[in-house]
Amino acid sequence: MPALTDKAYVESLLTRHGFSFSKALGQNFLINPSVCPRMAQACGVGPEGTVLEIGPGIGVLTRELAQRAGRVLAVELDERLRPVLAETLADCPNVEVIYGDAMQMDLAALLREKGAGPAAVCANLPYYITSPLIMRLLESRLPVQTVTVLVQKEAADRLCAQPGTRESGAVTLAVAYYAAPEKLFRVSAGSFLPAPKVDSTAISLHIRPRPPVETDPDKLFAVVRAAFGQRRKTLCNALQAGGYDKTAVAQALRQLSLPAAARAEQLTLAQMAALAAVL
């Protein structure tokens, strides 16, 4: 079978199956031959391990993963890709494609039931659900050591930002709580079919054995969501809009020696955890 990075072949394959790209499902397939091997290598899984892939598309990354891992579990939402994947993965007996919505599925249960050995996530994520999907992967405490994903450059900047800096957001703090983020390499927009408007960045989230702050994650992330829910407001006003008592917030900020006009992005993870604990 010709390479799934051969643009002419991919176009003829998709035409043969009557497939048209869905923008709503974030379908930008990789056609740069150097990207998938680097991602598969970076996810670190060997012949004893299992890789969970979200959104195999036509299977270009899936095939690279199948060469390295003992088992690949790939979750794809678009049923129209079923006949395409049956063809492109016909010679990959260690791949199982599960059709369904990764946002609804119990991915931890899936890995527990079907996975074996050390596990990792590796995916070129649909951009329309990058942050919620990453939150879901982190919060569902998958039995994985790394989450290696390709995301739009701006999303990577936010996911890998230092908490307490202007680039940080709610997802930055979630990543910092559960993992140590690492930017791997840039991928140009022309590496995809169809080409999106912006470049992407491959990142790895190395899951921490223990969070760096001791706190109740539910309380912490309730405060984080409220704090970043109204990004342009001060923390006091944003938290008030999120249902917290304004006087109590002002008092908590004083107690923690934080400025009354502090904004969410100025707080480190430790400061946000301390604020959640006081509140």
| 27 versus 50: smaller Cβ distance to ligand SAM | 27
State in angstroms the smallest separation of the CB of 102 from ligand SAM: 3
| 60 versus 267: smaller Cβ distance to ligand SAM | 60
Tokens 């169809």 appear where?
A: 194
| 8 versus 214: smaller Cβ distance to ligand SAM | 8
State in angstroms the smallest separation of the CB of 135 from ligand SAM: 13
| 104 versus 257: smaller Cβ distance to ligand SAM | 104
| 69 versus 75: smaller Cβ distance to ligand SAM | 75
Distance, in Å, from the CA atom of 98 to the CA atom of 172, rounded to the nearest integer, reads 30
Picking from 28, 102, 32, 106, the residue whose alpha carbon sits closest to that of residue 64 is 32
| 27 versus 271: smaller Cβ distance to ligand SAM | 27
State in angstroms the smallest separation of the CB of 58 from ligand SAM: 6
Q: For 201, phi and psi rounded to 5 degrees?
A: -135, 135
Q: Please write down the long-range contacts of 223-227, taking CB distance under 8 Å and 24 or more positions apart.
A: 223/272, 223/275, 223/276, 223/279, 224/170, 224/173, 224/174, 224/264, 224/272, 224/276, 225/170, 227/170, 227/264, 227/267, 227/272
Q: For 15, phi and psi rounded to 5 degrees?
A: -65, -45
Report the residue closest to ligand SAM, judged by CB. Answer: 55
**Site of interaction with ligand SAM (CB under 6 A):** 25-30, 54-57, 60-61, 75-78, 101-103, 124, 126, 129
Instruction: Please name the residue ranges forming H helices in the chain.
Output: 7-16, 35-42, 60-68, 82-88, 107-114, 130-139, 153-159, 170-178, 217-229, 235-241, 246-255, 269-278
State in angstroms the smallest separation of the CB of 30 from ligand SAM: 4
Distance, in Å, from the CA atom of 45 to the CA atom of 58, rounded to the nearest integer, reads 21
State in angstroms the smallest separation of the CB of 198 from ligand SAM: 13
| 28 versus 168: smaller Cβ distance to ligand SAM | 28
State in angstroms the smallest separation of the CB of 50 from ligand SAM: 17
State in angstroms the smallest separation of the CB of 172 from ligand SAM: 22
| Half-sphere exposure (Cβ direction) of 129: Cα atoms closer than 13 Å | 21
192 token code pair: 């995809």
